[in-house]
Amino acid sequence: MRTVQEYKNVISKLPHSDSRVPYTYHHYFIRMNSEMHNAKSRSDVAHLKVFTDEELYATALVEIITECGGLAVVDALNQQDLYIARDAVKVCDAALKVLDEINPKDPW
């Protein structure tokens, strides 16, 4: 388990919009990575479940890394940052699984 501050430190090294951390990046991540919720609006995603701060910042970090692309990540992050990012991916995978279990897709 990582701290929110660790995620924030890694995020600060990457190109991003501060005003979008963590909520907008989190909502984009959910919409792009959950087959059950990809058609929902950002507002709908915000109301799906209560996410922990760790989940919010972990998903924001993974979304920012995705948007930046490989070269920007390699240039900006050190080995410890990459370990933190790897752990963020694990948090995201677990959060998506729980999200899809407790918030199934609307049948229509």
What is the pTM assigned to this prediction? 0.90
Backbone angles phi, psi at 41, to 5 degrees: -75, 165
Residue 76 neighbours by CB under 8 Å, 6+ apart: 13, 14, 68
Which alpha helices (DSSP H) does the chain contain, by range? Answer: 4-12, 23-33, 42-46, 53-68, 70-76, 79-102
CA 36 to chain centre: 16
Say if residues 36 and 104 touch (Cβ distance below 8 Å).
yes
Q: Please, which pLDDT band fits residue 108 given cuts at 50, 70 and 90?
A: very low
C-alpha distances in angstroms, 90 versus 2, 15, 18, 42, 103?
11, 22, 23, 23, 20
Say what the alpha-carbon torsion angle 103, 95, 4, 83 is, to the nearest 10 degrees: -160
- Indicate the domain borders of the chain: 4-102
Q: pLDDT by residue (tens digit) across 25-52?
A: 999 999 999 888 888 888 888 888 778 9
Say if residues 44 and 10 touch (Cβ distance below 8 Å).
no
